[in-house]
Amino acid sequence: MTDRYAVIGNPIAHSRSPLIHRAFADQTGQDLSYEALLGPLDTFTPFVRDFFAAGGRGLNVTLPFKEQAYALCDVLSKRAQQAGAVNTLMRGKDDRIYGDNTDGVGIVRDMTQNHGWTLAGKRVLIIGAGGAVRGVMGPLLAAGIASLRIVNRTPEKAETLAALFKGEGDVAAVRYEDLEPGSVDILINGSSASLSGELPPLPAGILADGACAYDMAYGKGELPFMAWARGQGAARVSDGLGMLAEQAAESFYIWRHVRPETAPVLAMLRELVAKG
């Protein structure tokens, strides 16, 4: 019997998850179906419970439901607890609903395995203080970075987020005007600025020699943040398309206990994005 999986969000028509997971299934010989579901804004929790009651095995969760998914879980992974949000749901053999968050491991794997970046001992600055940033902080700290600084247009939000991870490593909020020259080895944009064509108010000269820059967003062509970083002398620059593929692969592994190869799927995604 074919196992049923899906991604749920609202809106959802733009999601590339069905393409990704069907490609993973074909590659690994797994008997499963994967579809996109438009989640009801007012009745998300009963909708999900009905999906599992009808035999569904797992769900990916995207905006705006990640916090609601967190709340409905019977069991949460440490990654989900740190993120305060869930993007991967699974029905266990005991019929309990298990929740995980694969965004952080997705960005770490993309940086280290796909791009060959070293995270251990690096000074990381991340822009933004929303759910996307919170979701990746725990795995970044676990990767052995030297320090993690958070900068945001609303400093109070950065301070609140930093306080949540105080026990996980050297974490602090900073202000744009206090950023020092050459103080950043890895710069991550977790804000929505690039998608709106804007740039965060970053001072020039903050990147250290050999610094890398990563935009968690992706789109056709080079995003404004990536162009800025390249102009500032970043040695290597990347968008977040590989993070999308890697977080999906981690979800697939959680469900099926088989780790798919992401390289061919990422190449497919690159071609699709390039075509617009």
Annotated ligand binding at 152? The verdict is yes
* Cβ atoms of 98 and 81 closer than 8 Å: no
Annotated ligand binding at 211? The verdict is no
* Cβ atoms of 242 and 115 closer than 8 Å: yes
Please compute Rg for the chain using Cα positions: 19
Annotated ligand binding at 45? The verdict is no
Annotated ligand binding at 156? The verdict is yes
Annotated ligand binding at 240? The verdict is yes
Annotated ligand binding at 10? The verdict is no
Annotated ligand binding at 137? The verdict is no
Annotated ligand binding at 262? The verdict is no
Annotated ligand binding at 131? The verdict is yes
CA 37 and chain centroid, separation: 20
* Cβ atoms of 238 and 266 closer than 8 Å: no
Residue 73: phi and psi, rounded to 5, are -70, 145
Annotated ligand binding at 88? The verdict is no
* Cβ atoms of 134 and 83 closer than 8 Å: yes
Which of 168, 99, 172, 100 lies closest to 140, judged by CA?
168
Annotated ligand binding at 253? The verdict is no
Annotated ligand binding at 28? The verdict is no
Annotated ligand binding at 218? The verdict is yes
* Cβ atoms of 12 and 65 closer than 8 Å: no
- Ordered alpha helix ranges (H), the chain: 17-28, 44-53, 66-72, 78-83, 103-109, 131-142, 155-164, 224-231, 241-256, 263-275
CA-CA distance, 217 to 189, in Å (whole number)? 8
The residues carrying an active-site annotation are: 66
Annotated ligand binding at 17? The verdict is yes
The H or E element spanning position 97 is: strand 97-100
- Known binding-site residue numbers: 15-17, 62, 87, 103, 128-132, 152-157, 216, 218, 240, 247
- Known binding-site residue numbers for NADP(+): 128-132, 152-157, 216, 240
- Known binding-site residue numbers for shikimate: 15-17, 62, 87, 103, 218, 247
